[in-house]
Amino acid sequence: MKDHYIFPAIFDFADDGISMEFPDLPGCLPSAHTVDDAVKNAKEALALHLYNMELDNETIPMPTPIGQLKPEKNQAILFVEVWMPLYRSAIENKAVKKTLTVPKWLNDLAEKENINFSHVLQEALKRNLGINNKS
So what's the pLDDT on residue 24?
97
Together in a domain, 52 and 75 = yes
- Render each residue's pLDDT in the chain as its tens digit; 135 residues: 899 999 999 999 999 999 999 999 999 999 999 999 999 999 999 999 999 999 999 999 999 999 999 999 999 999 999 999 999 999 988 888 888 899 999 999 999 999 999 889 999 999 999 988 655
So what's the pLDDT on residue 133?
66
- Which H, E and C letters describe 63-107, residue by residue? CCCHHHCCCCCCEEEEEEEEEHHHHHHHHHCCCCCCCCCCCHHHH
Number of domains in the chain: 2
Spatial strand order of the sheet with 4-14 comes to 31-32, 17-21, 4-14, 75-83
- H/E segment holding residue 110: helix 104-112
- Which three-class secondary structure state does DSSP give residue 112? helix
So what's the pLDDT on residue 134?
55
> Is the pTM above the cut of 0.85?
no
Together in a domain, 103 and 134 = yes
Please report, as a single letter, which amino acid is at residue 36: D
Together in a domain, 53 and 115 = no
Domain ranges, residue 88: 4-92
